[in-house]
Structure 1
Amino acid sequence: MTRPYFTAAALALLVASSLAAQVAPSPWPTSTPSKVGLNPAVLDSLDAEITAGKYGNIDRLLVIRRGQIAMDKTYPRDYDRIYGDSSRSSSALNNSHDPTGPFNYFNPWWHPTYRRGTLHTLQSVSKTVASAVIGVAVTRGDFPDLDTPILKYWDTTAVANLDERKRRITIRHLLTMTGGFDWNESVPYSDPRNTAGPLEASPDWVKFTIDRPMMREPGTQFNYSSGESALLAHIFFRATGVDIEEYAARYLFAPLGITDWHWKRTPSGTIDTEGGLYLEARDLARIWQLWLQGGRWKGTPIVSERWVRESVTPQVATSARAGAPRYGYKWWLYTNPVKPDALIWAGSGFGGQFPMAFPDQDMVVVINAWNISGGPTLPLRAVQERLIKAAK
């Protein structure tokens, strides 16, 4: 473990402890499916399928409707048995530079829960949460215009492969995955051709990404890139003078009553805004509920309604494939399968992390899983349809 990572982790613990003393968490009220207008038979059938292992390693199913918990199920898994052998062998998901650390995705001390506790890895849902933190900072007037060129926050004499296209990349492009860098994250993470592997193996993720050559004009095409999301931690600090984790702790987590989290840092010490956040499912649901409520929590505005609306407005198509989700500011936007003119606002993380808000149904669903080695997985679109049809 490097000194920057250790120091940041210790600082995070102190901040979390301080906030815990200031803000008491407000538990979700609980109800039954029937009382909140959900068909219990649908939820029971989904629960039975998960219990039977039909969808692999599902860890949690949390369903909240009308601000009340209708179902909360956990599914214990023996990850030492499932992934223990893989954690000790070399692969793209078990970085040789970090065999016992947080970037060994088979290591049960780190995945899927932090130190075998209740905080579940969110993987790329961290991107969506980082976007939410930026939204809070925009609301508070602490963050620059989204059309600001990102190279404002670098010494360009030290940036490799610099050309006019790279000079035209803006913060908005990073939020919409349209930065234009030469990046391939379209193959499985176990494939050595996936650029995310060399990113995580590098000592400085920010430098690795900003030095990449350009592939296309910024803003012209969606290309999924964890590196672009990693740049946001650097930009946030340079623009605000505050670490993005500390800002989240003070202005997003604390107002929502979130007092327990872990956010990994990269080897160079920056927060891993592309995939490093761990939260308990009920706390993750608070952020999605905040979006359902137009950015207000208990009547207090946390993030502006304008930002909420813009962030879940489709900014770019993710694929030409029929039915493919569109993309907002790090939000995956699925067409409601029952009402085509409506959207489902989702996060999506490696292994099966799916927090979802169904605005037309006033419903938030969090699914955590750890399916990283093939086998059955959750049929997301079919499950979305079943949940919507369960809502009366």
Structure 2
Amino acid sequence: MLKCLAFMSATLAAGIAQADPAALSGELQHAFDQGKLDGLHAVLVRQNGETLAEVYFEGRDERWGQPLGPRSHGPDTLHDLRSVSKSVTGLLYGIALDKGLVAGTDSALLAQFPEYADLATTERNRITIGDTLSMQMGTQWDETLPYTDPRNSEIAMELAEDRYRYVLEQPVVADPGTAWTYSGGTTALLGAIIARGAGMPLDQFARLHLFDPLGIDEFEWIAGDDGIPSAASGLRLSARDLARIGEMVAARGIYEGQQIVSADWLQQSATPRAQLDPLRYGYHWWLSPIGDPPSWIAGFGNGGQRLSISPRLGLVVVVYAGRYNDRLAWELPLAVVNDYVVPALGLR
């Protein structure tokens, strides 16, 4: 995995040649037909406003863990983003911050939830919103178990009577800001802060301030049993609409002349906050091992979902797949990029 990630970083930092869209799409289709890309649902490659490849496949799919059976995926098909939802929530926090609706990154996290004052300790009071955005709260959390297992911390949060209390009451096991732990609980808290500050549910805020300005008409943000949209994993978008988000990010937050997300917030989001060897992590975005700024930023999702963005190249790659809860699912989007996209674009 480390070798593949390092290779992708090097290639996406290099120059780019004009690809033949039909040839790249054909190569992907042929590989799929040969059984080399099992579970792949969609690939969309865009560069500076031009489509370099767009191809869709048939395959079994799910809707937030519920089987949908065989599906014929296409340009308008809504697809689970799973944890790519986290990166979108990070963008929404920046939008809300620029509108003065939420507290800044240096603000105390627990102060945003006064109803849980009984949880206050010296250690918890030191956790900031920035620590939450960078997944360095320092609290106990474990998502290494399958997402079908109720002992998985994110699933336990969804099953809890009060999701926010569940996240906030976890024991502090490291100094805030010093230890990275992958946590959907951090995203749930951010979603709550946005919704409270905006006075509306997260999905409505997203529609008004992100999706509508991007011309995204169809989306779904699945809610848990408590009716709260799952900020960490519940968003469903078409590949084309996820690519619109990627293109906006690549263009420093501008889409069709309108500033959707501030360039400053995108810079903060792409600033390395944690070194994960080899990857780095920013504010709810995965960052390349090399580059200052990073040569690429990405959102990763369970099952092989991927949004990869190279701002310097204006390059956006969307991959959808159905290998949910497969520990090796990350190999599929990397194979798409390294074995097909990179050679087609003449990247070295």
TM over 0.5: yes
Which SS does the other structure have where 1:238 is aligned? helix
8 Å contact 1:361–1:388 — kept in the other structure? no
CA offset at residue 189 of structure 1? 3.0
CA offset at residue 383 of structure 1? 4.0
CA offset at residue 253 of structure 1? 0.7
Instruction: Report the equivalent of 2:337.
Output: 384
Which SS does the other structure have where 1:346 is aligned? strand
Specify which of 45, 62, 66 is matched with residue 27 of structure 2. Answer: 45
Specify which of 306, 312, 326 is matched with residue 360 of structure 1. Answer: 312
Query: Aligned ranges for residues 191-340 of structure 1 at < 5 Å?
Result: 193-317=151-275, 319=276, 321=277, 324-335=278-289
5+ residue gaps in structure 2?
1-15
Question: Following the alignment from structure 1 to structure 2, what is the Cα–Cα distance between the partners of residues 70 and 214?
Answer: 47
CA offset at residue 67 of structure 1? 0.8
Which SS does the other structure have where 1:256 is aligned? coil
Higher RCO (Cα < 8 Å, 6 or more apart)? 2
CA offset at residue 113 of structure 1? 10
Q: Aligned AA for 2:43?
A: L
Question: Following the alignment from structure 1 to structure 2, what is the Cα–Cα distance between the partners of residues 274 and 201?
Answer: 14
Write out per-residue CA displacement over residues 353-377 of structure 1, whole angstroms, 9 at most, x where no aligned residue: 1011122332111000110254874
Alpha carbons of structure 1 residues 296 and 107: separation in structure 2 relative to 1, 3 Å: same
CA offset at residue 119 of structure 1? 0.7
Which SS does the other structure have where 2:297 is aligned? strand
Write out per-residue CA displacement over residues 236-266 of structure 1, whole angstroms, 9 at most, x where no aligned residue: 1233323222221111111100011000122
Instruction: Report the equivalent of 2:134.
Output: 176
Query: TM-score, structure 1 length as denominator?
Result: 0.75
Instruction: Report the equivalent of 2:56.
Output: 74
Question: Following the alignment from structure 1 to structure 2, what is the Cα–Cα distance between the partners of residues 253 and 306?
Answer: 20
CA offset at residue 225 of structure 1? 0.7
* Cα RMSD, aligned residues only: 2.8
Instruction: Report the equivalent of 2:103.
Output: 144
Query: Aligned ranges for residues 151-190 of structure 1 at < 5 Å?
Result: 151-155=110-114, 159-160=118-119, 162-190=120-148
Which SS does the other structure have where 1:361 is aligned? coil
8 Å contact 2:304–2:333 — kept in the other structure? no
Question: Following the alignment from structure 1 to structure 2, what is the Cα–Cα distance between the partners of residues 200 and 113?
Answer: 30
Write out per-residue CA displacement over residues 339-360 of structure 1, whole angstroms, 9 at most, x where no aligned residue: 8985211100111110111223
8 Å contact 1:186–1:224 — kept in the other structure? no
Instruction: Report the equivalent of 2:42.
Output: 60
Question: Following the alignment from structure 1 to structure 2, what is the Cα–Cα distance between the partners of residues 223 and 78?
Answer: 31
Which SS does the other structure have where 2:176 is aligned? coil
Which SS does the other structure have where 2:59 is aligned? coil
Which SS does the other structure have where 2:288 is aligned? strand
8 Å contact 2:47–2:316 — kept in the other structure? yes
Question: Following the alignment from structure 1 to structure 2, what is the Cα–Cα distance between the partners of residues 302 and 281?
Answer: 19
Question: Following the alignment from structure 1 to structure 2, what is the Cα–Cα distance between the partners of residues 113 and 182?
Answer: 40
Question: Following the alignment from structure 1 to structure 2, what is the Cα–Cα distance between the partners of residues 342 and 376?
Answer: 25
Write out per-residue CA displacement over residues 196-231 of structure 1, whole angstroms, 9 at most, x where no aligned residue: 232222233222212222121111111001111111
Instruction: Report the equivalent of 1:12.
Output: none
CA offset at residue 56 of structure 1? 2.3
Question: Following the alignment from structure 1 to structure 2, what is the Cα–Cα distance between the partners of residues 316 and 42?
Answer: 35
8 Å contact 1:184–1:194 — kept in the other structure? yes
Alpha carbons of structure 1 residues 129 and 376: separation in structure 2 relative to 1, 3 Å: closer
Question: Following the alignment from structure 1 to structure 2, what is the Cα–Cα distance between the partners of residues 56 and 150?
Answer: 42
Alpha carbons of structure 1 residues 54 and 119: separation in structure 2 relative to 1, 3 Å: same
Which SS does the other structure have where 2:124 is aligned? helix
Identity of aligned residues (%): 31
8 Å contact 1:113–1:119 — kept in the other structure? no
Alpha carbons of structure 1 residues 328 and 51: separation in structure 2 relative to 1, 3 Å: farther
Specify which of 67, 71, 94 is matched with residue 107 of structure 1. Answer: 67
8 Å contact 2:25–2:54 — kept in the other structure? no
User: Which region of structure 1 is more displaced relative to structure 2, 187-196 or 177-186?
Assistant: 187-196
5+ residue gaps in structure 1?
1-34, 84-101
Question: Following the alignment from structure 1 to structure 2, what is the Cα–Cα distance between the partners of residues 287 and 143?
Answer: 22
Instruction: Report the equivalent of 2:4.
Output: none
1:120 aligns with 2:79: yes
Question: Following the alignment from structure 1 to structure 2, what is the Cα–Cα distance between the partners of residues 389 and 298?
Answer: 30
Query: TM-score, structure 2 length as denominator?
Result: 0.84
Q: Aligned AA for 1:47?
A: Q
CA offset at residue 69 of structure 1? 1.3
